[in-house]
């Protein structure tokens, strides 16, 4: 049986729904460009779903290979301290699921170059 691959876009969270719009836009772009991938957003605090809820949803959808993408500019306290504990809990809850954690998106050299281009008034989208 083929299991879909899952991605969780993991962000800090905010009470302001407008703050979540960019994360949701990334989710929508993945859904548009990669219909074979199950994608969810998850938030550390202040709004739902949290990482456990998003992971349960993906597990229920048949996902057994999960990538968590920290949607942070840098590896601060949340990515460094909180996320490994949350991932350890997920691995205990879903022993049949392979869970990988990518580096924070802001630490990817492609993102650094893109942010520099934007800051310099780069080409319009």
Residue 11 resides in a domain? yes
| Domain count within the chain | 1
Residue 50's pLDDT band (cuts 50, 70, 90) = very high
Return the number of other C-beta atoms located less than 10 Å from residue 50's C-beta.
16
Find all residues with CB under 8 Å of 50, minimum gap 6, and list them.
Answer: 42, 43, 44
Residue 28 resides in a domain? yes
Residue 31 resides in a domain? yes
Question: What sign has the CA pseudo-torsion 28, 72, 99, 84?
Answer: negative
Q: In this prediction, what percent of the chain has a pLDDT beyond 90?
A: 63
Beta carbons of 7 and 66 less than 8 angstroms apart: yes
Q: How far is CA 92 from the centre of its chain?
A: 19
Of residues 121 and 8, more confidently modeled: 8
46 lies in which domain range?
5-119
Find all residues with CB under 8 Å of 61, minimum gap 6, and list them.
Answer: 4, 6, 38
Residue 86 resides in a domain? yes
CA pair distance 14, 45, nearest whole angstrom: 7
List pLDDT tens digits, range 19-34: 889 999 999 999 999 9
What is the token pair recorded at 42?
């998850």
Q: Which residue has the tokens 């924070």?
A: 104
Residue 124 resides in a domain? no
Residue 125 resides in a domain? no
List pLDDT tens digits, range 97-113: 999 999 999 989 999 99
Find all residues with CB under 8 Å of 125, minimum gap 6, and list them.
Answer: none
Beta carbons of 42 and 73 less than 8 angstroms apart: no
pTM of the model: 0.90
Q: What's the CATH number where 107 sits?
A: 3.40.50.1400
């Amino acid at each position: 049986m083929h299991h879909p691959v899952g991605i969780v876009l993991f962000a800090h969270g905010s009470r302001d729904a407008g703050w979540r719009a960019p994360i949701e836009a990334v989710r929508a772009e993945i859904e548009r460009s990669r219909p074979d991938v199950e994608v969810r957003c998850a938030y550390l605090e202040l709004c739902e779903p949290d990482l456990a809820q998003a992971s349960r949803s993906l597990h229920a959808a048949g996902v057994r290979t999960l990538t968590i993408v920290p949607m942070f500019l840098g590896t601060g306290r949340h990515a460094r301290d909180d996320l490994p504990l949350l991932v350890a809990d997920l691995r205990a809850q879903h022993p049949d699921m392979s869970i990988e954690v990518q580096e924070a998106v802001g630490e990817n050299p492609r993102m650094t170059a893109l942010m520099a281009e934007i800051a310099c008034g780069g080409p319009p989208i």
